[in-house]
Amino acid sequence: PSATTEDQPILVPLDPKARVWIDKVQKRVVMVGKVCLRQGQLEMFACPEGTKEHESVLSVPVAAEKVHAALLLIGAQPGRPVQFQPKYRSATGSIIDVSLYWTDDAGKRRSAWAQDWVQDSTTDKALDQPWVFAGSGFWVDEQTGKRSYMANQGELICVSNFPSAMLDLPIESSDKAGQLLFNAYTERIPPIDTPVTIVLTPRPAREKIE
């Protein structure tokens, strides 16, 4: 991915308190996170701060439900999360391209696809699957009746399948210890705490995975 003067986004904040922005012209959602892990197995690619940093490459200072709302505002269509019973059914929804922008130690602006930072443990190559807007879901506290968005607990951009995932992979990918498919692609990931701009761009509706 690359950005030129002509296609710099005109960003509008989702709301005054949420650190997520919308580019309504080019239909993109923008967040700024930081690198929180460079080595080891992954269940997530990105998580909200204070949740799953021990198994995510990036953390972002925004709740997953705010990112979900921003994607809806630019036309992304949620599908349904993964199902395991009575048989496995992969997550569906709009395909969301995830691009990354950061400044390296030499002061040079760099860019990559998020897949480039995820290594398939079976092939040692970069992840070759897209993410889909599964949409997570809500759980209700039986005592208070309060509704909570499940992906706020960490499952923002996942590489293991979770029924609570906001973005998930449309392939079978276990979250069980010893069966995890993906690792951090260490040599491609900048140092811990490097700020990274994350851009989510829905593909056209005709490419939605049903």
Per-residue pLDDT of 112-139, as tens digits, reads 999 999 999 889 999 999 999 999 998 8
Least confident range from 6-10, 47-51, 162-166: namely 6-10
Tokens of 195: 């700020």
Backbone angles phi, psi at 70, to 5 degrees: -65, -40
Q: Quick one: what percent of the chain has pLDDT higher than 90?
A: 72
**Tens-place pLDDT, residues 171-187:** 887 555 555 689 999 99
pLDDT value of position 180: 61
Per domain, the residue ranges of the chain are: 16-203
Mean pLDDT of the chain: 90
Q: If you search the block for the tokens 């940093």, which residue do you land on?
A: 53
Q: Examine the pLDDT at 3 and tell me if it is beyond 80.
A: no
**Tens-place pLDDT, residues 80-105:** 999 887 888 999 999 999 999 999 99
Confidence bin at 163 (pLDDT 50/70/90): very high
**Residue with more model confidence, 172 or 46:** 46
**Residue with more model confidence, 29 or 146:** 29
Burial grade of 66 (CB within 10 A; 0-12, 13-18, 19 or more): buried
Mean pLDDT on 62-81: 96
- Confirm if 118 and 184 have CB atoms less than 8 A apart: yes
